[in-house]
Structures are given as structure tokens and as C-alpha cells.
Structure 1
Amino acid sequence: MPISIFGFQALWSPYLLGTLLLVTVIYFLVTVKWQHKFATSEPLKKSEAINFILFIISYYIIKGSPIDLLGHIMFTLHMTQMAFLLLLVPIFFIKGIPAWIWKIVVEAPVARTIFKIFTKPLVAIILFTGLFSVYHLPLVFDTIKLNEALHMLYTMILFLSAVFMYWPLLNQVENQTEMNNMSKLAYIAGNAVLITPACALIIFASGPMYGTYSDGDMWMKAMALCVPSDTLSSLSLSGPELFSNMDLVSDQQVGGVLMKIIQEIIFGIILFRIFRKWWNTERANPEEITENALKEFQNRTRYQ
């Protein structure tokens, strides 16, 4: 059965598209036209503008295009959607906001405390992987999927925790948490390891775990999160099996596998970039690096 039966609004989320276009206009007004009104501002870099546009486009594709609707129909698409939303989009978001704007945000009275606590590497990694794992517990997952306000709130918190998780790796703001290259490698590896149990639980489950994908009544209620109620009430549907030839267990397992594969690819690219930057730095300044390492060793032995 074609998903076009759900209508234009469910397929393309025009309200979200309008909101994102408005956010884009405000972004360029602040960073280009009104930039001179801020004492600490700097000219917008091409890389920042590109990353912000990528953030807007990728966010709309994930949350506003038919992919969002398909994510409510098939668990495979839901896991793919969440993987990109939590592991790729935050990178574009952090790198798309100019450092001078981030500096204003993170030094604001309330935000200063929040960033100081939640961007500490150990706290950030536990917060993100913990929220991710709890989200995929069947009772929590089904409860969230059946409540629009709770779904929006938890998704927003998950996305914010992903921003905190990436912050120690990507931020360019002075006096913010910054790790050396070796710590970054361990940090990424730790993230990959801690995400694995949740994916394994889904991949190796012997039966359907989530009622919002296996129970017809719960599935219909969950669909109400993205399909207008009048459109949904006019359709005679029994469950997601009408839109896919894949059985529920296979759909669930493929979803878990795809989540893990996407995570490994994105983290692998980040690791490669860290290695390359580390290698280039060492080749460019070998004497300085050796001198700094010697000083650090001498300082350690002095206090032993």
C-alpha cells in the first residue's frame, strides 16, 4: 500500500519546513547583516554557513520528509532516522554556529553551569549512552511513542545530550572542555562500546519488542503523532504489515544492525580525522611536541 494515502501534510511536514526556513533567515541576519552589532562578532566563515545549511537540510530530511512517516511504520527506518539525528546532525549543528555565538551562549548565567557540568567527557558520555539505552527499553519506548508531548520532549533531550557528547571533540570556544588527541580516541571508542548493549538487545531479541510496531491498536495511536487525526480516521488500517513485506522480527533486527553500522561509520570517520590532524601536527612541529612532552614528563617526576 502506498504511503501517499496519508496526505501531503504527513509526508512533507510543511509547518516544520516553514519553521526551519525562518530559523535559516534569522541565522543569516544575525551572522551577516546584524553581525556588526555584537562586540565579539567575527565575519561568517564559508565552512560555518555550509555546516548550518547541512544541519537544516539533514534535520528536515530526517524529521520532515517521508522518512519520518516511514519511521513510524517500519522500525528499520526509525533506527536509521535516530542514528543520523543523534550521530550526524549534531556535528553540523555545532560546526554551523560561529564560535563567537557559542561563546555568548555558553557564558550566559544558566547555560554556563549547564555546559560546565554536562560537557565534562565522563558525564557527557554517560548521559548520552544512558538516555539512548533507556529510550530503547520496550516500556519506555512504547510510552514515549504514544504521547506526542513526551515524544517531542525526550527527542529534544536526546539531541541535546548528543550535542553535549560531541562538544569536547568539536567546540572551538576558549576556556571550554578540550581533550588531547589520545583522550579523543578513547572517548570515541568508549561511546561505541557503551552504545553496543542497546543495539545488541534489539538485534538478538527472539520476538517483537515494541507494541507500537507489533500491536495494531498501539501502532495506530503512534501514527497519530505524524498523521492528522481526520486523515487517519478516514483510513482502514490494521498495522505496519500493510506497507512492508518484512516480518516484525526481521525489521527489528535490521534496525538494530543499521544503527550500529551507521554509528561505526560516523565514529570511524571522526577517528580518521583525529588521526590525520594528529599526524599532520606532529610532522609540522616535531621539535615543539618533543619539548612539550619532555617538560610534561619532568613536571610529573618532580612531584612524585
Structure 2
Amino acid sequence: MSISIFGFRALWSPYFFVALVLLTIAYFILTTKYRSRFSGSERHTAGQVSLFVTFMVLLYIIKGSPLDLLGHIMFSAHMVQMAVLYLVMPPLLIISIPNWIWRKLFTLSAFDRIFSFFTKPLIGLLVFNLLFSFYHIPLLFDFIKTDMWIHAIYTSVLFVTAIFMWFPLVNQLEEKQTLTGLYKIGYIFGNGILLTPACGLIIFADNPLYSTFSDPSAWSKAMELCVPSSSLAGLNLSGPELFNGLPLMDDQQLGGVLMKVIQEVVYGVVLGYIFFAWYRKENNDNKIDPLSGEGYPAK
């Protein structure tokens, strides 16, 4: 059965799209027309603009397009959402925000204290991965997925902790560099290890784990997060198998595999970038005079 029966609003989230457009306009206004009102401000770079627009496009695809609806029907689609939302998008947002805006935010004492505490490498690492793992405990997962407000709060908090986790790795502020060189590489490996148990639980489970993808009543309740209950009542649907061509267990295992694969690809790309940046820095700091063969410091 086609998901088009849920209607345009459920498929394309027009209000969410308008909100993202307004936020994008606000970003450009703040970083161009009104930046002169802030001391120390600098014009955003083309790279920052590209990353912010990419972030907004991805946010709409993940939370506003039919993929969001599919995330309530297919567990594999849900895991793709999770991987992109928490592993791909936070670093894009962090880098896309100009340094002068970050510095203005850090002048707010409460923001500075909270952010400085939760972006300590060990704390940022543990808090995000624990919240992510707790989310996929079947009992908690089904409870969160069937309550609109709890789901909104938990996933928002999880996104904020993902920003905390990524900040020590990708932020461009010299005064906020808490990790350097090999420590960043170790941090990435630690992230990969801590995320593995949640993926393993899903991949190697012998039975369906989540009622919101297997039990018709729980699934119908979870669908109310993106489809008006009045619309669902008139459709008389028996369960997600009407829209999902994959057997339930195959879909569940595919979700775990996709999460792990996307995680490995993202961390691999970041690891390569960090390693070569560290390697170049080490070479520049220890240059060799070609005539004397002696080392001299880089300018």
C-alpha cells in the first residue's frame, strides 16, 4: 500500500518547511545585515553558508519529508534518520556557525558553564552514547515513541548532547580546543566502541524488539506523532506490514547494520581528516633545512 494515503501534510510537513525557511533567512540576516551591531563580528565564509544550507536541507529531509513517515513504518528507515541526525548533522551545524557568534554565546555565563561542562571530552562522549543506547532499550523505545511530548523532548535533548559530543572534535575556536592530535583519534575510536552495543543488540536479536513496529495498536499510537489521529481512525490499518515489503526481522537487522555502517563511514571520514591535519601540523612544526639537514621551527 502506498504511503500517499496519509495525505500531503503528513508526507511533506509544510509548516516545518516554512519554519526552516524562516530560520535560514534569519541566519543570513544575522550574519550579513546585522553583524555590524556586534563587536568582533566577521563575514561568514562561503563554506559556512554551504554547510548551513546543507544542514537545513538534511533537516527537512530527515524530519519533514516522507522519510520521517517511513521512519514510523520501517525500522531501517528510522535508523537511517538516527544516523544522519546525530552523526552527520551536528558537525555541519557547529562549523557553519561563525566563530564570533559562538564567542557571543559564550559571554552568557549560564551558556558558558553548561556548554563547558558537557563538552568536556569524557562527559560529552559518555552522555551522548548512554542516552542513545538507553533510547534503544525496547521498553523505553516503545514508551518514548508513543508519546508526542516525551518523544520531542528526548530526541531534542539527544541532538543537543550530540552537539556536545561533536564540539571537542570539530569546533574552530582556538580557546576551546580541548583535544589535539592523537587524542582526537582516540576520541573517535571511543565513540565507535560505545555505540557498538546498541547496534549489536539490534542486529543479533532473535525476536522483534519493538512493539511500535510489530504490534498494530502500539504502531497506530506511534503513527500519531506524524499523522493526525482523526486521519488514522478513518483508514482502518492493520499494521506497518501493509507498507513494508521486508519481513519484520530482516527490517530490524537491516536497521542495525545501516546504523553501524553509516557510523563507520562518518567516523572514518572524520578520522582521516583529523589524522592528515595533525600530520601536516607536525611536519610544519618540525621542518628540516634542506642544506644543513637540521630541523628548524615553522614560521
Q: Which residue of 2 aligns with 1:200?
A: 200
Which residue of structure 1 lines up, in the alignment, with residue 78 of structure 2?
A: 78
Shift, 1:206, TM fit: 0.2
Segment of structure 1 superposing worse, 163-172 or 272-281: 272-281
Amino acid at match of 1:86: Y
**Alpha-carbon spacing, 1:160–1:238, altered in 2? closer, same or farther (3 Å):** same
Report the counterpart of residue 291 of structure 2 in structure 1: none
Aligned partners of 1:119 and 1:177 also within 8 Å:
no
The SS at the match of 1:42 is coil
The amino acid across from 1:155 in the alignment is T
> Which residue pairs with 2:121 in the alignment?
121
Q: What does the per-residue CA deviation read over 1:206-242, in whole Å, with 9 as the maximum and x for residues that have no partner?
A: 0001000010000000000001222211102010100
Which residue pairs with 1:232 in the alignment?
A: 232
Letter in 1 for 2:51: N
* Counterparts of 1:24 and 1:64, CA distance in 2: 15
Equivalences for residues 19-168 of structure 1 within 5 A: 19-168=19-168
Question: Conserved in 1, the CA contact under 8 Å of 2:121 and 2:178?
Answer: no
Q: Give me the CA root mean square deviation.
A: 1.3
Query: What is the Cα deviation at residue 125 of structure 1?
Result: 0.3
- 1: CA distance, partners of 2:102 / 2:278: 25
- What is the percentage of aligned positions where both structures have the same residue? 49
Runs of 4+ in 1 over 3 A off after TM superposition: none
* Alignment check: 8 A CA contact 1:76 1:252 kept: yes
Aligned counterparts of 2:249 and 2:262: Cα–Cα separation in 1: 20
Greater share of helix? 1
Q: Which amino acid aligns with 1:32?
A: T
Q: What is the TM-score when the length of structure 2 is the normalising length? A: 0.95
Corresponding residue number in structure 2 for 1:296:
none
Take 2:177 and 2:131, find their aligned partners in 1: how far apart are those partners?
Answer: 22
Q: Which amino acid aligns with 1:222?
A: A
Q: Which amino acid aligns with 2:107?
A: E
Counterpart in the other structure of 2:221: 221
Q: Which one is further off, 231-240 or 141-150?
A: 231-240
Taking the TM superposition and a 5 Å limit, the aligned residue runs for 1:260-275 are 260-275=260-275
How far apart are the structure 1 equivalents of 2:174 and 2:158? 26
Structure 1 counterpart SS, 2:244: coil
The match for 1:299 is none
The 3-state SS of whatever aligns with 2:32 is: helix
- Provide Cα deviations, 1:154-205, integer angstroms capped at 9, x if missing partner: 1101100110001001112242242111000000000000000010001110
Aligned residues of 1:120 and 1:177 also touching (Cα < 8 A): no
Matched to 2:148, the amino acid is: E
Structure 1 contact 51–95 (Cα < 8 Å) conserved? yes
Superposition deviation, residue 106 in structure 1: 2.4
Aligned equivalents of 1:103, 1:47: Cα separation in 2: 19
Q: Which moved more, 1:206-215 or 1:241-250?
A: 241-250
Q: How many residues align?
A: 291
1:280 Cα deviation after fit: 2.1
| CA–CA separation in structure 1 for the residues paired with 2:107 and 2:261 | 37
Kept after mapping to 1: 8 A contact 2:61/2:67: yes
Structure 2 counterpart of 1:158, one-letter code: L
Report the CA distance between 1:291 and its aligned residue: 7.8
The alpha-carbon deviation at position 284 of structure 1 amounts to 2.9
Q: CA separation in 1, counterparts of 2:107 and 2:218? A: 44
**Structure 1 runs not aligned, ≥5 long:** 293-304
Aligned mates of 2:103, 2:178 — CA distance in 1: 14
Quote the offset at 1:117 in angstroms. 0.6
User: C-alpha displacement at 1:87, in angstroms?
Assistant: 0.1
**Partner Cα separation in structure 1 for residue 40 and residue 146 of structure 2:** 45
